[in-house]
Each structure stands twice: as C-alpha cells, then as structure tokens.
With several copies, the nearest count.
Chain A
C-alpha cells in the first residue's frame, strides 16, 4: 500500500512541469467559443507542441508514437496538465481518447498507419457519431443504416451529440449493417471521412450557448468498405472497447480541476462580504466545503487505487462506473456551492465586480451534462448494481 510516487515519477513531473511553465503561456489565450477555425488551430497547435516535446499520447504504445507511460506517470501527467492550466484536449478529444485507441486496438495495419500518427500530431480531428435521437441510453437501438454497395457502404441516418463536427476530418461512426439480427449483433464501426457527399451538419446549441454539439444528417453517404474497423456486425464489441477507454484514467485531469474549483469557492468566499461579514466566515458554508474536501480526497484516493489495479490488469475495471458516478455528482455539488457564494453576482455569465463569475457559471452549466453524457448516473447505477453487485437485471 505504497502511496508515494517513485523517483522516476517525480523526475517526469519535474521535466513536464518545467516544460509546461514555458509552453502554456507561450501558446496564448484560447479563442472565442464561437470561432471554430480558431479553436481547431488552437487545440491542434497545442497537440502538435505536446507531440514535439514527447508528451502526446502518454498512454499510447511507443510503436504508435505514444509515450507508453506507466499509469502513475499518466496520473502525474494529468495532475501537471491541470495544475499548469494547460489547454484542454479540446477538438482532439475524440481522436486521442476514443477513435485513436480503438483503431490501435481493433484497426488494420493500414488504418493505423493512416490515422494514428496524424491524430497524435494534431493533423487529424475526429468526431463521434454514436448517439441517435432514438438511441441514447439505449445506444444499441441505433438505426442509421449502412448498405454494402460494391466498395462502399451507403450510409443513411441521423446522429446527434456529435461534438466538434464542424471542424472534424473523420467521424467514428456506428451503423447498422444487419437489420435482421438482434440489436447488439448487427452493428458496425466505421471511419467516416467528413468530406464525403451527403453529410449535413446542424449545430445544436446547448444551455451554455455554445455549439460544441451538432446533429449530423447522413443521406446515402458512401463510406469506403476499407474504413470498417473490426469485423462487420461486430461493432458493438468494438464500441465497448472505446467506452471502457472513456471510463478509465481520462477523468484524472478533471478531478484535479475539481479540487481547484473548490479552492476557487473558498477564494471567492473570502472576497465577498454580506452584512459586513466575509462570507468565508459562514460556518455553514465551511462545513459543506470541509465535507466536500473529504469527498474529493476520497475520490482522488479511489482514482489512485483504481490506477494501481489497472496497472496490473491493463484495462480499467467496472469500478470505473463508480468513479464516473461519484466524480460527476461531486462536481455538481461544488458548482452549486459556488453559485450560492456568488449570490446576485452569479446572475452574470461574465466577470462582474472583479469576481470570476464567467468561469464559475460556465462550469456550473457545463456540469449539468456530466451526469447525462457517457452514460447517465442512472445507467451507471444500473451497471454497478447489476454487473458489480450481482443484483437482478431490469425486466425487459
């Protein structure tokens, strides 16, 4: 039960920290959320810098250009990235965290050679075409059809919650290739170039007011058969490889960020006065901050335990559902606390009175999606109770 990072880990931390200290300020300020070309350039530019410095794909195998870092190094990496307020993975998200890893695991040599280096260097942006209006929590109910026609699949359907579709080069796409099979058996996983004819992208504004998500309408889109990843009709298994990547260590940075958010609450509370008293003197607030600190420390310890276990098994376990559930609900509690401290200043989504309301409000609104995306909290509780605790499955 050894909690201390090794000397090698600390050495890695020192090098990375030193590099970030220069690289982060040098990369400049993020563009407006509405400036899509700017966002792509900013995010992929940062990815390129990571690559050049040897920090791209820390968890990717060396043979694919990754760093093949140990899991503790990965943890150090995510901690330092968050601590330095380095740019978020942004438009590289799907490529680096979903599509890339899936191609590495399930793709052909040709697919790997074509995409992996470019994703890693920030030259290729991916988006995700999984969910459909009728297939959310019940993803396997997806209806987008792909019909084989010579060298292509002709794809017709309607995808939703596709992030960064506007600036993507490829889409990891789930399609139904066998409508007669049971719902999990007829799905395939395709790499769809976004410049094919028949693709119509319609942004879907969120409650934050951004357009990070889109609906994607597909009308007879000819996706080359060579872009099939895994076997035809084996897409559900391939997908689950991706989903398990998503529930692994990827939250580490956000968790560290969550601790920073709790500090922000304290900082704001120390700057706001009510009835002539500094809000931080409110013991009811402090009690809640204290409990949250205890829970954040518990979450972080859970993460370390999970990483230590994953280091042996190679794959994050089902416990990742517990981490996802706990993390997202804690995140919302921290964001709500900030709202209470801000009071009327929290009615503005830009900084007022010298208070950082913009960040606090954006974070709060964004937090509402965390218990929905990537499997709702209710779905996570089902997974935990059925697959971990062995309780009876839902009657279908």
Chain B
C-alpha cells in the first residue's frame, strides 16, 4: 500500500492543471455564460486525453485507470470546465467518436427513480444521449426527444432542457455495464466536487488574508479561522475518500466498490456545498455578487450533486449496506 499520488499521476494532473489555467480562465468562462459549450475547447480536451483516458491504448485511448481519471476530473472541477464531461468520458469505447471528441455525449440517469420533469444538461450540444437505467444502458438520438430549453438555468455555464417523455432507445449495455457506469460516473463527478471543495477554500483563504477590517486582515479573526480550519479538514477527508474510491474501482480487492463509491459521492457532495457556502459567507458582500466567481462553484455543486445519486441517496445506500452486514 502506498496511497500517495505517484509521479506519473502528479505529472498527469499538472498537465491538466496548466492546460485549464491557460485555456479556461474565469474571463473565458464568463464568455461562455448561457452557452456552456465551445467545440474547440471540447476538441482540445479530447486531445489532452480527457475522454479517452481509460480506453485501452489499442483502441486509441490512453490506457489509464479510474484513479488517474479522478485526478483529471478534480482539475476539471477546480477550473469549472463546463460540458457533459463525465458522460462523454464514460461513453468512450461505447459510442464512436466520444474518445476523440467528435461525438459529444450526454446522458440521463434514470436508475435513481426520479420521475418527470427530466432535466438534461447541455442538450443542444449533444450528438448522442445515453439513458442509464438500473438494468441497462440505452442510446438515443437527441432529436428523438421533445426537449424544451430552460431559459434561466441555475448554473449559467450548464444550460438545461426539460423533457417530459423519454423515448425507447437502442440497448448498448446490460445490468453490469449500467452498474459500472453508475459507479464510475459517481466517482468522476466526486472528483469534480473535490476540486470545488479545494478551490473554494483556496479562494476564501486568499480573500480573507487580503481583506482588512478593523485594521486587521479578517482572516485573522478566530471565528473565520475556525470556519476555514473546518473547510480544510473537510477537504482533506474528501480528497482521501474520493481517491480511495478511484483506487478501489481499479483494484476491487482493495475494498468494497459499492461502499467506496457511495462514501465518496456522499462526502464530496456535502463538502463541496459546505465549502462553497462558507466561501460565500467569508467573501462577505462580494460573495453575493456575480462578479466574484464563488457563485459559479456554488451553482455547479448543485448540478454535480444531482447526478449519479445525491448525497442522501448514497447515504441511504451505505446504511442499507451496513444494515445487511450487521444482520
């Protein structure tokens, strides 16, 4: 056991980080408001290997594992990169063109028992839509759906569409595939939520160290220090559990995959929300403005919380599992 990020992984993560810093700055994101998608960016992400990361090299992919993908998605989360990232990544190998970015793939998780209204992110940019049921995966052409755009989505970088009826699609995977996709999707999204957890704390630190009131940096007031200390603990715990879930998917002998995934998603959802909430409060009035990007993180958190199972649903699953183990 050596649970540290290894050198290759650190290099991979650093590569994505510097790409995002140059290519997806806050200024560039502002221009994507209301669209949330840019085809050149998508192609560049594909070129970086974001979508084909876990596809075998023989199939044109990078041949890495889920633990590696988590590190990549952590960076995508930090940089608020918009688009149906997880779905397209999951579709690599299953849908032609997903890995190389020529097919933009979105999805709808119908396995969680939520009824209408069905909300689909980035619908207008999709080439293929996956329907994830408890026992199968289907693909449909987006044009087969009667989707109504929602003019004011919560996350200005994640356009959504409302659909009231779901057509039948082509079955492209069975129950096992569906379960694997749910697990992997939950872990990738947990990576993004981890990134939000980290970046919002970093923003709070920077702001409170610089902002002075009563002739002192406000970050020197113990009440604020302790809020940030709690944010830090949350961040460290979340990083550990999310990395562990990725590593467990790669090596199921290292633990119980279902439990590892649920623990990660439940924790990451809570942490991203709490840290971004704390960031709003710690930024004071500025945190309530559109100008300071804290709100983007808060809103993205809601989008990611509500895909591949909410924190509550994963908590329920964990309790169910523990109850069975004790029985």
The answer to whether A and B touch directly, with their CB atoms under 8 angstroms apart, is yes
A residues touching B (Cβ–Cβ < 8 Å)? 1-6, 9, 72, 75, 131, 134-138, 141, 160-161, 204-207, 209, 213, 262-263, 266-267, 270, 272-276, 280, 283-284, 286-287, 289-291, 293-295, 297-299, 301-302, 304-305, 307-309, 311-312, 319, 322, 325-326, 339-340, 343-350, 352-353, 355, 361, 368-369, 371-373, 376-378, 380-382, 384-386, 388-396
Tell me if B164 is interfacial: C-beta within 8 Å of chain A: yes
Q: Give the 5 A-B CB pairs with smallest separation, nearest first.
A: A353-B117, A290-B315, A275-B113, A392-B220, A301-B240
Using Cβ atoms and an 8 Å threshold, which residues of chain A touch B223? 378, 381
Using Cβ atoms and an 8 Å threshold, which residues of chain B touch A386? 225
Tell which of A312, A326, A378 has the most Cβ of chain B within 10 Å. Answer: A378
Assembled-state Cα–Cα distance A250/B303 (Å): 35
14 A-B residue pairings within 8 Å (CB atoms): A1-B2, A3-B255, A72-B1, A270-B327, A290-B315, A290-B317, A305-B239, A308-B1, A319-B236, A348-B162, A349-B153, A352-B150, A378-B221, A385-B228
Question: Which residues B270-327 have CB closer than 8 A to chain A?
Answer: 270, 277, 280-281, 284-285, 287-291, 295, 298, 302-303, 306-307, 310-312, 314-323, 325-327
Q: A4 contacts which of B1, B112, B267 (Cβ < 8 Å)?
A: B1
Whether the pair B154, A348 counts as a contact (CB closer than 8 A) is yes
Assembled-state Cα–Cα distance A263/B152 (Å): 25
Question: Which residues B139-158 have CB closer than 8 A to chain A?
Answer: 150-155, 158
Using Cβ atoms and an 8 Å threshold, which residues of chain B touch A345? 117, 119
Tell which of A135, A274, A301, A322 has the most Cβ of chain B within 10 Å. Answer: A301
Question: B271 to nearest A CB, angstroms?
Answer: 9
Assembled-state Cα–Cα distance A141/B213 (Å): 8
Question: A281 to nearest B CB, angstroms?
Answer: 10
Using Cβ atoms and an 8 Å threshold, which residues of chain A touch B4? 1, 305, 308-309, 312
Using Cβ atoms and an 8 Å threshold, which residues of chain A touch B291? 204-205
Using Cβ atoms and an 8 Å threshold, which residues of chain B touch A353? 116-117, 162, 164
Dominant secondary structure of chain B at its interface with chain A = helix
Whether the pair A308, B2 counts as a contact (CB closer than 8 A) is yes
Using Cβ atoms and an 8 Å threshold, which residues of chain A touch B260? 297
Tell me if B216 is interfacial: C-beta within 8 Å of chain A: yes
Given contacts A1-B3, A1-B5, A350-B151, contact A287 B315 (CB under 8 A): yes
Interface residues on B, range: 35 or more
Using Cβ atoms and an 8 Å threshold, which residues of chain B touch A276? 113
* CB nearest to A136 among chain B residues: B284
Tell me if B247 is interfacial: C-beta within 8 Å of chain A: yes
Tell which of B237, B267, B307 has the most Cβ of chain A within 10 Å. Answer: B237
Using Cβ atoms and an 8 Å threshold, which residues of chain B touch A395? 216, 220
Whether the pair B267, A350 counts as a contact (CB closer than 8 A) is no
Whether the pair B266, A1 counts as a contact (CB closer than 8 A) is no
Question: B188 to nearest A CB, angstroms?
Answer: 15
* CB nearest to B240 among chain A residues: A301
Whether the pair B230, A290 counts as a contact (CB closer than 8 A) is no
Tell me if B103 is interfacial: C-beta within 8 Å of chain A: no
Whether the pair A137, B267 counts as a contact (CB closer than 8 A) is no
11 additional A-B residue pairs with CB within 8 Å, beyond A204-B291, A287-B312, A376-B284: A136-B213, A206-B290, A266-B326, A273-B115, A294-B262, A297-B259, A298-B263, A344-B119, A349-B154, A377-B281, A382-B222
Assembled-state Cα–Cα distance A319/B318 (Å): 27
Using Cβ atoms and an 8 Å threshold, which residues of chain A touch B5? 1
Dominant secondary structure of chain A at its interface with chain B = helix
Whether the pair A347, B158 counts as a contact (CB closer than 8 A) is yes
Whether the pair B259, A343 counts as a contact (CB closer than 8 A) is no
Q: B288 contacts which of A305, A352, A369, A382 (Cβ < 8 Å)?
A: A369
Assembled-state Cα–Cα distance A218/B224 (Å): 33
Whether the pair B233, A349 counts as a contact (CB closer than 8 A) is no
Whether the pair B1, A3 counts as a contact (CB closer than 8 A) is yes
* CB nearest to A361 among chain B residues: B154
Question: B179 to nearest A CB, angstroms?
Answer: 17
Question: B288 to nearest A CB, angstroms?
Answer: 5
Whether the pair B240, A304 counts as a contact (CB closer than 8 A) is yes
Using Cβ atoms and an 8 Å threshold, which residues of chain A touch B306? 343-344, 346-347
Tell me if B6 is interfacial: C-beta within 8 Å of chain A: yes
Whether the pair A348, B150 counts as a contact (CB closer than 8 A) is yes
Question: A378 to nearest B CB, angstroms?
Answer: 5
Whether the pair A350, B160 counts as a contact (CB closer than 8 A) is no
Q: B312 contacts which of A137, A284, A326 (Cβ < 8 Å)?
A: A284
Using Cβ atoms and an 8 Å threshold, which residues of chain A touch B310? 340, 343
Whether the pair A1, B67 counts as a contact (CB closer than 8 A) is yes
Whether the pair A137, B284 counts as a contact (CB closer than 8 A) is yes
Using Cβ atoms and an 8 Å threshold, which residues of chain B touch A372? 280-281, 284-285, 287-288
Q: A3 contacts which of B152, B248, B285 (Cβ < 8 Å)?
A: B248
Tell me if B83 is interfacial: C-beta within 8 Å of chain A: no
Q: A5 contacts which of B1, B150, B153, B240 (Cβ < 8 Å)?
A: B1
Q: B215 contacts which of A287, A293, A349, A396 (Cβ < 8 Å)?
A: A396
Tell which of B164, B254, B290 has the most Cβ of chain A within 10 Å. Answer: B290
Assembled-state Cα–Cα distance A75/B3 (Å): 13
Whether the pair A295, B267 counts as a contact (CB closer than 8 A) is yes
Given contacts A207-B289, A274-B114, contact A347 B302 (CB under 8 A): yes
Tell me if B217 is interfacial: C-beta within 8 Å of chain A: yes
Whether the pair B302, A339 counts as a contact (CB closer than 8 A) is yes
Whether the pair A347, B219 counts as a contact (CB closer than 8 A) is no
Whether the pair A6, B230 counts as a contact (CB closer than 8 A) is no
Question: B38 to nearest A CB, angstroms?
Answer: 21
Whether the pair B113, A389 counts as a contact (CB closer than 8 A) is no
